[in-house]
Amino acid sequence: MALNSRLLGLAFASADTLVEIDGEGRIVLAMGAAPATGHAPEANWTGRTLTDLFEPRSAGRLKQALANLTPGNRSDPLDLLYDLGDGAFRRVRSRLFSLPELAPHCSCALTWQGQPFSLEPTADTPLVTRDDLMRQTSSLLAKQGPDPLTLAFVDVTGLDQVAGDQLETLKTRLHSALQSVSVDGTSASHLAGSAYALLRRDSDGSAVEDAIHNVAALEGVDVSADIRQVELSPGVDRQATLRAMRHALEVCIANGAMDDPDITFKNTLDRTLVQMDSFRTMVKARDFALHYQPIVDLKSGVTHHFEALARIPGCDGPESTIRLAETLALIESFDLVVAEKAIQQMLQPGYGLTRVAVNVSAGSLATDTYGEALMRLTANHGDIRRRLSLEVTETATILDLPGTQRRLARLRQAGFRVFLDDFGVGASSFDHLNHLTVDGVKIDGAFVMRAIEDDKSRTLIRHLVEMCGGLDLKTVAERVETGEVAELMLKLGVHLGQGWFFGKPEPQPRLERPTLAATSRRRGAVESWG
Ligand code: C2E
Ligand code: MG
Ligand code: MG
């Protein structure tokens, strides 16, 4: 085989199209695949100036690279937009090299990227939702591509200078442009305002910049983009990393941290991964405590049961850690060890009749695992099942109501009681009550605290109690801080009360010594839930 053919073979092994240009930049030889048709490009290219084939800004960069090229050297790869005419483009990666014996001629190797795309406004290139963006991130991280996956944050500046009518067209074009330079042409998403995020297999944002510049040129407006890219690495635990990424993305958006989204994202991601790790360690070592707060029968003043509330070392209150654990899907194992600890407490001598409620996040009821584990934990303690109740929290996140109902029904059948926690705060509280069979509801503390002053809260509670009566459900008023509120709740027909007025959460359930008035019904030692 002639040396020439061998060299050609080698050259084509790393590029789709090879071009030779003379000292004036005119194409003297072109071979390989053409950008759109797949046919050989010689016919239309020979004699043309190479830089004329590209979109103006790409052409500028190519010109610059040609000017810097010295005989015997090779340029860095350049990402360019090839102009197919009629507003259509195709991305191409190019590399220049200059053989000393051919100078001033030089060679250009082109590798076509993605599919040709148009910046004409079309309705069929809508941006994807953030959920879809995360789904795609997940599947792309699973496939090892040759180039690392990057998340590009794009802030389009100058949109506020564009008038109403034109803005719509401009945005449609922008969306097409962003999609076209994203992985598979389907992974660009709108974050907030002028901020977008897209997945790329390229650590250099120039193709994005070019695409946006094209849109601006087509519309004749002064719009540009600030692009920051973060390399995504799946880490050891891909699912966990993905959840942390989603959380970091949400933090970027929620904090409006669009000035430095890459820094915010990266910092939040790193911090979240550390937090996940320490949460897991904390759960594994059971390195937390439960405090017990009495829930009192408003009529008799007798403790009906105790709510077990987690106390996590180093945290002011458990709420923020628990909400993060919910977001990161780590809550199930935690809720389970909480139940385990509560059961241990209930089995202590002297606590034989004590009833306890544990919180269980809706997320923990999204699969069968929690319920099955709880059944195993209590397999040898039938009475524990009748003494333990579950407060379903964060009901806003219940996605699968029939599945949750099925799991709760199984637990209720086994003897556990179920309450809906924080009732009334979420828009879907009533929907949940309609679909889930429970034993009672806990009226959110916000209503209870307002009830003395606020007529509306009182009316709401009164109607809620009436409705619960009709459904044969127990009602619990949360955050009863004063005797006045306790009395009001009793007057409104609420059965049980919980709050500082009756007692704060304490390391042990506070069992009252029998008094003359209540020898047969000690606090914390009531025989039935009725
Ligand atoms: P929650 O289940 O609604 O618990 C009641 C919260 O109200 C507790 O906050 C309690 O300390 C507080 N509280 C009680 N009485 C009063 C009062 O009179 N006034 C005021 N202002 N607050 C009162 P805490 O312990 O900070 O727990 C916050 C939330 O964290 C809980 O709300 C629950 O959603 C969650 N949580 C706590 N432990 C667990 C757990 O083991 N698993 C899960 N999934 N969530 C838990
Ligand atoms: Mg609760
Ligand atoms: Mg509550």
Residue 111 reports pLDDT greater than 50? yes
Query: Is 528 inside any structural domain?
Result: no
- Per-residue confidence (pLDDT) for residue 303, from 0 to 100: 96
Residue 515 lies in a domain: no
Residue 454 belongs to a domain with what CATH number? 3.20.20.450
**Residue whose CA lies nearest to ligand 1 atom number 20:** 479
Helix (H, G, I), strand (E, B) or coil at 522: coil
> Is the pLDDT score of 36 beyond 80?
no
Q: How would residue 514 be classed by pLDDT, with cut points 50, 70 and 90?
A: very low
The reply to whether 503 falls in a domain is no
Are both 416 and 468 inside the same structural domain? yes
317-328 pLDDT, tens digit each: 899 999 989 988
Q: Final residue of a domain: which of 118, 141, 165? A: 118
**Do the Cβ atoms of 40 and 34 come closer than 8 Å?**
yes
487 has a pLDDT exceeding 50:
yes
Are 210 and 296 in a shared domain? no
100 vs 479: which has the higher pLDDT: 479
CATH number of the domain encompassing residue 72: 3.30.450.20
Q: Say if residue 99 is in the same domain as residue 157.
A: no
Same domain, 238 and 90: no
Centroid of ligand 2 to alpha carbon of 518 (angstroms) = 27
Quick check: 35 and 92 in contact, CB under 8 A? yes
508 is a domain residue: no
> According to the model, what pLDDT value does residue 38 have?
53
Indicate whether 505 belongs to any domain.
Answer: no
Convert the pLDDT of each residue in 289-332 to its tens digit. Answer: 999 999 999 999 999 999 999 999 988 889 999 998 998 889 99
Residues 323 and 202 in one domain: no
- At 22-35, the pLDDT tens digits run 999 999 988 888 77
Per-residue model confidence as pLDDT tens digits over 434-447: 999 999 999 999 99
Same domain? For 298 and 255 the reply is: no
Q: Both 246 and 384 in a single domain? A: no
Residue among 338, 359, 395, 425 whose CB has most ligand 1 atoms within 8 A, to mutate: 359
CB 176 within 8 A of CB 122: yes
Does residue 171 sit in the same domain as residue 41?
Answer: no
Contact (Cβ atoms closer than 8 angstroms) between residue 208 and residue 156: no
Tell whether 254 and 321 lie within a shared domain.
no
Domain range for 408 is 288-498
520 belongs to a structural domain: no
Q: Which of 474, 374, 364, 355 is nearest to 419 (CA)?
A: 474
In this prediction, residue 6 has a pLDDT band, given cuts at 50, 70 and 90, of low
Same domain? 207 vs 327: no
Of 86, 118, 150, which marks where a domain is finished?
118
Query: Residues 78-87: what's their mean pLDDT?
Result: 83
More confident residue, 384 or 520: 384
Task: Give the pLDDT score at 8.
Answer: 65
Q: Strand locations in 379-513, DSSP E? A: 388-393, 417-423, 440-443, 474-477, 496-498
Q: Which residues line ligand 1 (CB under 6 A)?
A: 293, 309-310, 317-319, 322, 331, 335, 338, 359-361, 391, 393, 421-422, 445, 478-479, 481, 498-500, 505
- The pLDDT tens digits of the residues spanning 345-399 come to 999 998 988 999 999 999 999 999 999 999 999 999 889 999 999 999 976 678 8
Take atom 43 of ligand 1 and give the residue whose Cα is closest. 359
pLDDT band at 518 (very low <50, low <70, confident <90, very high): very low
Q: Is the pLDDT of residue 256 over 80?
A: no
The residue with greater pLDDT, 285 or 118, is: 285
Distances (CA, A) of 229 to 94, 152, 466, 487: 21, 4, 56, 59
Q: What is the pLDDT of residues 183-199, one digit of tens each?
A: 988 899 998 888 899 99
Mean pLDDT of the chain: 87
Same domain flag for 98 and 181: no
The phi and psi torsions of 443 (rounded to 5 degrees) equal: -75, 125
Determine the pLDDT at residue 123.
55
Would 517 be classed as within a structural domain?
A: no
What ranges in 330-416 are assigned the alpha helix state H? Answer: 331-346, 369-377, 382-387, 401-413
Q: Domain containing 140 — which CATH number?
A: 3.30.70
Sign of torsion over alpha carbons 311, 315, 318, 323: negative
Res. 122: pLDDT tops 70: no
Q: Which pLDDT does position 43 carry in this prediction?
A: 58
In this structure, the answer to whether residues 292 and 336 fall within a common structural domain is: yes
The residue with greater pLDDT, 7 or 104, is 104
Ligand 2 centroid, distance to 361 Cα (angstroms): 9
Q: What is the mean pLDDT of residues 62-84?
A: 88
Q: Which of 295, 296, 393 for a ligand 1 pocket mutation test, highest count of atoms within 8 Å of Cβ?
A: 393
Give residue 42's pLDDT band: very low, low, confident or very high (50, 70, 90). Answer: low
Question: Ligand 1 atom closest to Cα of 361?
Answer: 44
Is the residue at 90 inside a domain? yes
Query: Considering its fold, how many domains does the chain have in total?
Result: 3
For residues 9 and 410, the model is more confident at 410
Residue with CA nearest ligand 1 atom 23: 479
Q: Is the dihedral of CA 113, 115, 121, 126 positive or negative?
A: negative
Of residues 54 and 35, more confidently modeled: 54
How far away, in angstroms, is 391 Cα from ligand 1 center? 11
pLDDT in the model for residue 520: 39
Of the three residues 118, 147, 165, the one that is the final residue of a domain is 118
